[in-house]
Amino acid sequence: MMPRLDGYGTLAELQKNPDTAAIPFIFLTAKADRDNMRQGMDLGADDYLTKPFTIPELISAVNARIGRREILAQRYAEQLRHAEQTLQRISGISRVTDLPNRECFEDDLGAALEATRDEGGGLVVLLVDVDGVKLVNEAWGHEIGDRLLKAVAERVA
């Protein structure tokens, strides 16, 4: 009922812009029938208060939205931490053997060499080369070659 852009239009415009789409939106309106409420909620409104409303009602609605946003932010932060841990874990692990990959080996070897240099000790490195994996891949496919590497890795680990 506003002159140029009503509440529905305002909410629709806010939803179009990624910078404003997540802003909590509470309708404060004289339109009290179910269809109007449903339309507002379907557009993405967080709450719908009809006039006359009281200040405590408005404060309660705002506090509920803030609480919900905090819960969502905590969940998002937890999911982000979990994803970071997963990425850290898998970034140094071979998808086939579940053993440290070449990059991880090089990092670990560099750290071990530096530690032995500082401590004046020695270092033993065992290198296992599985000959013929390329031939297995060509003859029987990568799935069989991966199974071979995994079996060798299980026996070495």
Q: Which fold has domain 7-85?
A: Rossmann fold (3.40.50)
What is the rounded distance in angstroms from the CA atom of residue 116 to the CA atom of residue 118? 5
Q: What percent of the chain has pLDDT over 90?
A: 30
pTM of the model: 0.47
pLDDT tens-digit series, residues 53-95: 999 999 999 999 899 889 989 999 999 999 988 887 778 888 7
Distances (CA, A) of 56 to 11, 49, 61, 68: 24, 12, 9, 18
Distances (CA, A) of 45 to 73, 118, 126: 19, 63, 63
CB 57 within 8 A of CB 28: no
According to CATH, where is 3.40.50.2300 located in the chain? 7-85
pLDDT tens-digit series, residues 2-12: 778 888 898 99
